[in-house]
């Protein structure tokens, strides 16, 4: 996010937006819901696996101000995964959240200039 805000080059911003809105959600969902959550659930119950993987997801983002919103988002992503049995749903939700964040940042930058 900080790099995106600091960059003026359109091509770089487009590539970064793609990485944030598409690549990151796919990779993070495969890792956190597909691997961490699933592995933890095998050795515990769904509730603990949900809390553990969600807390790990929030902490790994290294943003203390967003810790609780990220934790809450991760719980929603686990629920979406459990309800559908597919990683595609949390990937889509995650991608929409990230894209929305980029749009807010972009309009915030445009309004400030």
| d(C-alpha 65, C-alpha 106), whole Å | 20
Segment 43-57 shows an average pLDDT of 98
| Structure tokens, 32 | 């956190």
Q: What is the mean pLDDT of the chain?
A: 91
| Structure tokens, 90 | 């949390």
Residue 9, pLDDT > 90, answer no
Segment 33-46 shows an average pLDDT of 97
Considering the chain, what percentage of its residues have pLDDT values greater than 70?
88
Task: Write out pLDDT tens, residues 70-109.
Answer: 999 999 999 999 999 999 999 999 999 999 998 988 777 6
| d(C-alpha 110, C-alpha 93), whole Å | 26
| Structure tokens, 31 | 């890792």
């Amino acid at each position: 996010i900080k790099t995106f805000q600091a960059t003026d080059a359109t091509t770089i911003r487009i590539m970064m937006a793609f990485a944030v809105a598409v690549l990151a959600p796919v990779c993070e969902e495969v890792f956190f819901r597909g691997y961490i959550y699933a592995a933890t659930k095998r050795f515990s119950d769904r509730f603990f696996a949900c809390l553990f993987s969600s807390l790990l997801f929030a902490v790994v983002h290294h943003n203390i101000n967003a810790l609780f919103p990220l934790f809450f988002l991760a719980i929603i992503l686990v629920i979406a995964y459990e309800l559908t049995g597919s990683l595609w749903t949390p990937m889509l939700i995650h991608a929409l959240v990230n894209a929305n964040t980029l749009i807010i940042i972009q309009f915030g930058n445009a309004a400030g200039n």
